[in-house]
Amino acid sequence: MRRIIANKAQCRKCNDIIESKVRTQRVKCSCGSIWVDGGKYYIKRGFKESKDDIIELSEFDGE
C-alpha cells in the first residue's frame, strides 16, 4: 500500500494549491470551486461544478 506524503491539489479556476495536512481537515481554494480532505490518511476531493477543475498534486511514498 502506498503511503501519502502530501495530500494536495490545484484549482484550474483560481490556481490556488491547497493541502490537507491532518485527517478530516477539509481545505477549500479561494474561489470555492474545489476542496481536499484526509491529510496523510486518505485522499478525498470535492468540486462545485466539475471534477476537471482539479489538478491532482498529491505525492506518495516511492514516487
Domain ranges of the chain: 4-60
Those residues whose C-beta lies under 8 Å from the C-beta of residue 20, and which sit 6 or more positions away, are 7, 8, 26, 27, 36, 37, 38, 39
pLDDT at position 2, please?
A: 87
Residue whose C-alpha is closest to residue 17's, from 3, 4, 5, 34? 34
Separation of alpha carbons 32 and 47, rounded Å: 8
- Where does the pLDDT of residue 63 fall: very low under 50, low under 70, confident under 90, or very high at 90 and above? low
- For 34, how many CA atoms within 13 A lie in the half-sphere containing its CB? 23
Tens digit of each residue's pLDDT (9 = 90 or more) over 19-36 = 999 999 999 999 999 999
What's the pTM?
0.91
